[in-house]
Amino acid sequence: MSETGDAQPALVQTEALSKFYGTRRGIEALDLQIGRGEIFALLGPNGAGKTTTLRLLLGFLRPTAGRATIDGLDCWRQRHEILRGVGYVTGHVRLYEHMRADRLIRLINNLHGGDRLHQAYYIAERLRLDPTLKIRKYSRGNKQKLAIVLAMMHAPQLLVFDEPTISLDPIIADEVHHLLREAREDGATVLFSSHVLAEVEKICDRVGVLREGRLIATQRTEDFRRQHLQRLIVTFAAEPADCPPQVGLRMVRRVNRHRIEYAVAGEVTAALGWLTGQNVANVEITWPRMEEVFLSYYRDEANAVPISTAPTDEGDAA
């Protein structure tokens, strides 16, 4: 099983969890633990199995094999009990189009015991949502905001968001990040899928990488980046000599005649040792972007250096 972010018992656990759609694999043999009070992101392109995983955890799908639990409750057999303590935002929001948003908020409030209206309108205000309009008049982004209000208003112990900021402008997306961090500080666990790697890097404690239905890595966010290739940006005082292969430097790009960006394979010590014998004016050590680290899990193994373009998929086919 994967390590959780803390010593507390995991809130979410899966054991060899698998889902097949006929002969097509959704996910297979997924072993995962998500600790209480952490923000965990599932990463992967379309079809990797992110949405399938979330739907299995919420009891919307029956597993082909294996088991998933939330707070000790079986996600399929006890799904109705589980859902009382979960706030969920789907990647494709569907609401009652004929209703006014405030009427729907009141309906959901009554279902949760009738004492959360103040919190709902507080979240709506922070997301700049006018709840007096009929839902059919909302843009896609405003429907997403309303879904977030409905998911968070009852302060659930688990928030499950599938691409939570996909339709939101950057200012509102940033406010959602603040809301999720505040929920975590209040003891909630947050699980979401995303392809927006900047938000993952910004708010997540840990990440899990899915590839073709299999979980291939789980790590703390900072370790996720740091274990991959460092970058050296070197300014030479004169034309540099060719770097021998054993040094572990590979040129990524030549900024100009005397300034070169290298990727470092392994420890940086050998590279710095070689550079001390060169006529060097300046050296900058940087870490790769999250996009590069993520895509390194998808590159051909013959490629020594991650590519640097980011995925642009929206949603998850699996």
| pLDDT, tens digit, 9 for 90 and up, residues 241-277 | 888 888 888 888 888 888 998 888 666 788 888 888 8
Q: Distance between CA atoms of 162 and 315, rounded to whole angstroms?
A: 8
- What percentage of the chain reaches a pLDDT higher than 70? 85
Tokens of 114: 């009738």
Confidence of residue 229 (pLDDT cuts 50, 70, 90): low
Whether the CA torsion 49, 55, 182, 135 is positive or negative: it is: positive
Please report the pLDDT score of residue 34 as a whole number. Answer: 96
Q: Of residues 155 and 91, which shows the higher confidence score?
A: 155
pLDDT at 7 over 70: no
The answer to whether the beta carbons of residues 234 and 275 sit under 8 Å apart is yes
Please report the pLDDT score of residue 219 as a whole number. Answer: 85
Q: Of residues 239 and 74, which shows the higher confidence score?
A: 74
Distances, alpha carbon 93 to alpha carbons 3, 39, 78, 261, in Å = 32, 22, 24, 43
Buried b (16+ CB within 10 A) or exposed e, 129-166: bebeeebeebeebbbbbbbbbbbbbbebbbbbbbbbbb
Q: Of residues 24 and 45, which shows the higher confidence score?
A: 24
Domain boundaries, the chain: 10-225, 229-287
pLDDT at 314 over 60: no
Question: What pTM, to 2 d.p., does this model score?
Answer: 0.74
Please report the pLDDT score of residue 150 as a whole number. Answer: 97
Distances, alpha carbon 38 to alpha carbons 11, 34, 61, 77, 114, in Å = 10, 7, 24, 25, 28
Mean pLDDT, to the nearest integer, of 63-86?
Answer: 96
Class at the top of the CATH hierarchy for domain 10-225 = alpha beta
| Kind plus residue range of the DSSP H or E element containing 164 | none
Pick the closest to residue 157 from 190, 182, 112 (CA basis).
190
Pick the closest to residue 147 from 105, 112, 99 (CA basis).
105
Tokens of 102: 């405030």
Mean pLDDT, to the nearest integer, of 13-39?
Answer: 95
Please report the pLDDT score of residue 286 as a whole number. Answer: 73
Please report the pLDDT score of residue 114 as a whole number. Answer: 79
Q: Distance between CA atoms of 285 and 287, rounded to whole angstroms?
A: 7
Distances, alpha carbon 296 to alpha carbons 29, 288, 300, in Å = 22, 11, 8
Residue 235 three-state SS = strand
Mean pLDDT, to the nearest integer, of 153-162?
Answer: 95
Q: Which residues pair with 70 in a beta bridge?
A: 12, 73
Q: Give me the count of residues in the chain.
A: 318
Q: Distance between CA atoms of 42 and 211, rounded to whole angstroms?
A: 11
Pick the closest to residue 46 from 166, 216, 159, 194 (CA basis).
194
Please report the pLDDT score of residue 78 as a whole number. Answer: 97
Mean pLDDT, to the nearest integer, of 52-65?
Answer: 96
Task: List pLDDT tens digits, range 107-133.
Answer: 999 998 878 999 999 999 999 999 999
Task: List pLDDT tens digits, range 279-302.
Answer: 899 988 776 666 666 666 666 433
- Averaged confidence pLDDT in the chain: 85
Tokens of 177: 């990040």
